[in-house]
Amino acid sequence: MKKVITYGTYDLLHYGHLALLKHAKALGDYLIVGVTSDAFDRSRGKLNVKQSTAERIEAVKATGIADKIIVEEYEGQKIDDIQKYNVDIFTVGSDWVGKFDYLNNYCKVVYLPRTEGISSTKLRTNENPIIQLGIIGVNSPSARFFEESLFVNGIHISGAYDPDSAKAQKFCQNYDLKTYLTLNTLFADCDAVFINLPINRHQNIIIKSLESDCHVICDAPAFLSSEDAKKAFEFAAQKNLVLFEGIKTLFFPAFQHLLLLVRSGLIGNIKNIDVSCSQIPNSIETIQQDPYQGSFYDWGATALLPIIKILGTDYKNCNLYNFEQNHFSYLTCGLLEYPSAIGTFKAGKGIKTEGSLIITGEKGYIYVPAPWWKPDYFEVRYEDLRATRKYFYKYEGEGIRYEILEFLKMINTGMLNNYKYPQEEILKIAQIIEQFSSPNTKAIQKG
C-alpha cells in the first residue's frame, strides 16, 4: 500500500483545497492529512486564520477524501510523521516548490499545481473588506506598528499625520506612505486610526476620530482619567465604533498561557505580584521637556497590567511614590492593597531596573525574566526546585501584530468590549493614572 501525506491550514475550505486533496489521494492508496494547530499557526506568524483547529479538521473530514487526519503542532514534525507512518510520498501545492526538497531524504516529494483564482486569503478579504488605517503621531512605536501591520491580512496603512509635518513627511518617505497635513484629510481616507501622541493629547484626538466615524486603537496608557475613559467609551458605543487601548503584552502567546496557568490554581492562591518596567531612551533630553512623558505616563498601563488582570479591579488602597528630577518623573513605585494580596510595581524612564515579573502563590511562584513585557519564556517554581517547569511560547516580530489582529477582529465582529482586556480594567488603570497626576501623589524630588 502506497501512503501519501500532505499538510495545510485548510481555513475556509474551498474547491482549491478539494482539488489538492483529490490530486494527493490519486498519488497513492492511503492519504494522511495534517491540519495545523492554532498554536502552530500563531507561532509561524499566521494570524488571520478564521476557523479553529477543530472546525478545520471537521471540514477536511467531511470531504471524505482523507483516510487519516492528524494535527501538525511543531516545526520538524513532518519528518517524524513520515517515519512514524511509513509514508511513501509527501505532497504540497506548487507555491512551495523547493521548500520541502529536504524531505526527499525520507520519501518522494511531489509538488501539485494550485487552483488559480481562489485562496483562503481572498475569501477572508471578500468577507471582511480591507480596513484603511491612518497613523496619528510618528514617534516610537509607530514605525514598529507599521512594520508589524504588514503581517496582518485585512488592514492597510494609508498614511500618517503628525503635529510636526516635517517629521511626518520623513516618516512617510521611509515607508512610502501618504503624508497627511491635516487630521480631516486623514479621517476622510481612513476607516480606523492608531493614535500615538503624548497622553494629554489622546482624549481630544480620540473624540475627533470617533466623530469622523473612525475606529480607534490608542497607544497605552490611553487616558488621563477614568472620566475621560468613560466618556470616550460611551461615545464610541453610540457610534458603534471600536475604541481600544493597545497594549501588546496582553496578546503575546506566553502571557495568555501564563494567565491560564494562574487561573487553573497551579501555584495556589495568589498573594503577591511584583513587576517592574524601565527604559533608558536615546533622546531622554527631549522627553524631559514634556511633563506628560516619563515613568508612569509611559509605563503605567503595562506595569499595572498583570496586577489588574490577575488580582482584579477591587483593590482596597493604592499608594504611589513619584521620584522626580527637574519636574521629570524618572521613577514611580506603587503598591495596590487587596483583601488577601498585594501588588507592587516600579516604572522607570531614564533609569534601569531588572524588568522581571514574579507572581507569588501559596504553592509556588511564576518567574518571567526581563523583559517580561515581551515574554516568550517563563518558569513555574516550587519549594522543591526539581519540580520546576519551564514554558516556551515563541512570538513573531515585535509582537505588535497580535494586538493589531485583535483590533481587526473587534472591527470585523462588531465587538465593542474585548473580553481579554475589558473596559472595566482600562477604566481602573485610568483611575490610577489620574491618581498619579494628582497633587496628592507623594513626590520625592531631586534637583
Q: Which amino acid is at 164?
A: D
Phi and psi dihedrals of 222, rounded to 5?
A: -85, -25
Q: Which three cell numbers, joined as nine digits, stand for 412?
A: 470585523
Cα–Cα distance measured from residue 53 to residue 35, given in angstroms and rounded to the nearest whole number: 7
Cα–Cα distance measured from residue 138 to residue 143, given in angstroms and rounded to the nearest whole number: 7
Q: In total, how many domains does the chain have?
A: 3
Residues 302 and 426 in one domain: yes
Residues 65 and 142 in one domain: no
Residues 202 and 87 in one domain: no
Residues 232 and 254 in one domain: no
Task: Please calculate the CA angle 406-346-291 and round it to the nearest 5 degrees.
Answer: 80
Taking CA atoms, 414 is separated from 50, 357, 417, 427, 446, in Å, by: 15, 34, 9, 21, 49
> Which CATH number characterizes residue 146's domain?
3.40.50.720
> Which CATH number characterizes residue 95's domain?
3.40.50.620
pLDDT for 123 equals 46
Residues 60 and 164 in one domain: no
pLDDT for 445 equals 61
- Measured over the CA atoms of residue 187, residue 193, residue 196 and residue 197, the dihedral's sign is positive
Asked whether the beta carbons of 153 and 48 are under 8 A apart, the reply is: yes
- Measured over the CA atoms of residue 113, residue 119, residue 121 and residue 125, the dihedral's sign is positive
Cα–Cα distance measured from residue 176 to residue 170, given in angstroms and rounded to the nearest whole number: 10
Expressed as residue numbers, the domain containing 276 is 250-446
Residues 285 and 138 in one domain: no
Residues 29 and 144 in one domain: no
> Which CATH number characterizes residue 396's domain?
3.30.360.10
* Strand ranges of the sheet holding 3-8, from the earlier edge strand across to the other edge: 68-72, 30-36, 3-8, 89-93, 108-112
pLDDT for 131 equals 94
pLDDT for 412 equals 87
Residues 233 and 258 in one domain: no
Residues in the chain where the model's pLDDT stays below 50: 123
* Domain stop point among 194, 215, 247: 247
* Domain stop point among 121, 149, 179: 121
Residues 168 and 204 in one domain: yes
Residues 146 and 18 in one domain: no
pLDDT for 325 equals 81
Cα–Cα distance measured from residue 231 to residue 263, given in angstroms and rounded to the nearest whole number: 32
Cα–Cα distance measured from residue 66 to residue 126, given in angstroms and rounded to the nearest whole number: 28
Per the confidence metrics, is the pTM higher than 0.85? no
Residues 346 and 258 in one domain: yes
Residues 280 and 428 in one domain: yes
Q: Kindly tell me the burial class for residue 71, based on how many C-beta atoms sit within 10 Å of its own C-beta (0-12, 13-18, 19 or more).
A: middle
pLDDT for 151 equals 86
The verdict on whether omega for the bond into residue 141 sits within 30 degrees of 0, i.e. cis, is yes
Q: Which three cell numbers, joined as nine digits, stand for 166?
A: 516635517
